[in-house]
Amino acid sequence: MMKVQDGKVFGPGSATTTMAGTCGEMNKIKSQEKQMIKRRDFIKNAAVAGAGFLILKSGTRVGAQAPSNKLNIGMVGTWGRADAHFGVLKNENIVAMCDVNEDHLAHGLQHAPKAKPYTDWRKMFEQKDIDAVVCCTTDFTHAFVANWALNRGQHIYCEKPLGVSVEEVRTVRASYEKQRKKCATQIGTQRHAMENFNRCRELVRDGAIGELKEACAWGNRQVKPAGCEYDEKQGVIYMKDKSGEKRTAGYLPDAGAPPANLHYDNWIGPVQFHPYNPGYFEKGPGANCLSWNMFWDFGGGQIGDMGSHTMDLCWCALDADLPTTAEAKGDPLNNAITPIKCEFHFDVPANDWRGPIRVSWYEGGVMPQSPREYIDLKKIDHGAMWKGTKGFLVAGFNERILIPFGKETDMTYYKPRTKETVLPPLGGFQEEWINAAKNGTPEKTTCNFNYGGKMIEMMDLGLVAYRVGKKLKYDGATGKTDSPEADALLSKKYRDGWTLNG
């Protein structure tokens, strides 16, 4: 393993840290110790060409141009969630790989040994032969990588969430609108490929619950920072000092220099600097975002994690535009950490098939009211519910139950679709994006940056409403609220050297 810094190669360093990968389901990684040895061997002869770009000692820039029927792909993030992509991408040509952790970079290079390796994704975008980008890195760099790709006319698959502020999402959506006929986009809410999404959409759209009035989704995770406890009754996250005294938790304390294999400054990236602490990397592959995404500078808590997946189940049946209002209530405000328990409510305008509706998100154990006393919604850890004038539809990712009420519980008003007219299966989620990019049909992706972008913009707006503690009116055309205090929280300040519109 080689340390890359300021054009110099340093000797072996610690390999105790983990990469800040994006959360998601994935196969278990084999014994990390054995793999780490292999990874080090893989790049032990690497040298440096500028900050963040590696070449072989021979000077050969590896990664030849692929045949015209393959996409040349650059990957940002090569561990954790990235492992869910390697199998799908094996028929394409991965020409570039970037990871801030050199051991994880070597892990990725085992899948694409000819790819050019980087530790700074900004340098990767200087490579001219990239057609498409797969972004599997930290939530707080998603909008940056996505926007840089779109600005270069590159197809982009970006793990959720698309951004961690309203402004980030709006910036990426605006770039997408300019490139939508050229660039295929997909947000990594891959559960959308489950057939239950189609079945729920059909039931709502076809009137099985009458006229739609309300919709909501929820998730019951309670995630807290490393070394912290949660007083559920008080709604306070705290940590104990050496004397055992409790104090309100904040960003993790300075724990000294990061391990030699971790380019920590590149991991921090655009956000305000916070000193290294191993607690930001304590979770393993597929869950490491739960080490840092609850901090305001690094993410949006559960809204950016399972909230994106679960609200997508609800959102897919709404054909919704941006909300006109947002309000929220939950745990007392912590200026460093997002709430564990919270509920968010939005007024969403009418469209051509339904009237205005109220859309809500509940997290951390706060729940919507059950449609019937004998139905325990808490048995569904992540679920969605739609309320109409004639019934309720309750669903998890793989199942659903219809509960009619009123005078027409015989449901004679509803005509189910035939087997021939139900919505067809989506098929492979990543493959849909690849096919759209290769076949000249870039707008034919299900979770493109317009569909998924508006959803996460709504959710990010909800966090702003929570922070200011009042109901907001929102103008989706201008991206502004009726509160100067709230408007100041719609965007973030970035460190020098990092720009969203690069």
What's residue 287's pLDDT?
87
Average pLDDT for the chain? 89
**Which residues fall within 8 angstroms of residue 325, CB to CB, at 6 or more apart?**
346, 347, 471, 472, 473, 474
Confidence band, pLDDT 50/70/90 cuts, at residue 68: low
The total number of structural domains in the chain stands at 3
Of 117, 137, 157, which closes a domain?
A: 137
Residues 352, 321, single domain; the answer is: yes
**What is the pLDDT, as a whole number, of residue 243?**
78
In a domain, 55, yes or no: yes
Which residues, in sequence order, are CB contacts of 7 under 8 Å at separation 6+? 48, 49, 50, 51
For residue 88, the domain's CATH number is: 3.40.50
Clarify whether residues 349 and 458 are in a common domain.
Answer: yes
The mean pLDDT of 71-93, rounded to a whole number, is 96
At 10 the three-state DSSP class reads: strand
Task: Name the pLDDT band for 170 (thresholds 50, 70, 90).
Answer: very high
CA 338 to chain centre: 16
Q: Is residue 171 part of a domain?
A: no
Of 170, 23, 124, which Cα lies nearest the Cα of 492?
170
3-class DSSP assignment, residue 247: strand
Confidence of residue 408 (pLDDT cuts 50, 70, 90): confident
User: At 245, is the pLDDT very low, low, confident or very high (cuts 50, 70, 90)?
Assistant: confident
| pTM, entire model | 0.87
Is residue 32 scored above 60 in pLDDT?
no
Handedness of CA 303, 307, 308, 312 (dihedral sign): negative
Pair 121, 83 in one domain: yes
Centroid of chain to Cα 269:
17
Other beta carbons less than 10 A from residue 483's beta carbon: 17
Please tell me whether residues 214 and 358 are part of one structural domain.
yes
Question: According to the 3-state scheme, what is the secondary structure of 13-35?
Answer: CCCCCCCCCCCCCCCCCCCHHHH
pLDDT tens per residue, range 418-431: 999 999 999 999 99
Are 331 and 357 part of one and the same domain?
A: yes
320 shares its domain with 459: yes
* pLDDT at 193 exceeding the cut of 80: yes
Which residues is 489 bridged to in the sheet?
none
Q: What angle do CA 339, 345, 351 make, to 5 degrees?
A: 145
163 inside domain: no
Q: Are 35 and 107 in contact (CB under 8 A)?
A: yes
Residue 16 has pLDDT above 80, yes or no: no
Q: Same domain, yes or no, for 123 and 269?
A: no
Task: Among 255, 275, 299, identify where a domain stops.
Answer: 299
Residue 172 domain-assigned? no
Q: What's the CATH code of the domain at 411? A: 3.30.360.10
Rounded Cα distance between 275 and 162, Å, is 25
Three-state DSSP class for residue 51? coil
Q: What is the residue range of 240's domain?
A: 228-299
Work out the pLDDT band at 166, boundaries 50, 70, 90: very high
In which residue are the tokens 């690094």 written?
Answer: 298
The residues that bridge with 185 in the sheet, in sequence order, are: 156
Which residue type occupies 97?
M
State whether 349 and 273 are in the same domain: no
Q: Worst-scoring range by mean pLDDT, 1-10, 117-126, 235-244, 447-456? A: 1-10
Do 8 and 61 reside in the same domain of the chain?
yes
Whether residue 56 is predicted with pLDDT greater than 50 in this model: the reply is no
* 216 and 234 part of one domain: no
Shared domain for 126 and 269, answered yes or no, is no
pLDDT at 417: 97
Q: Is residue 320 domain-shared with residue 469, that is, in the same domain?
A: yes
| Residue 479 belongs to a domain | yes
Percent share of the chain, pLDDT over 70: 86
**Predicted confidence (pLDDT) per residue in 368-392, tens digit:** 999 999 999 999 999 999 999 999 9
Tell me if 306 is assigned to some domain: yes
State the pLDDT at residue 286.
Answer: 80
pLDDT at 65: 35
Tell me whether residue 63 is in a domain.
yes
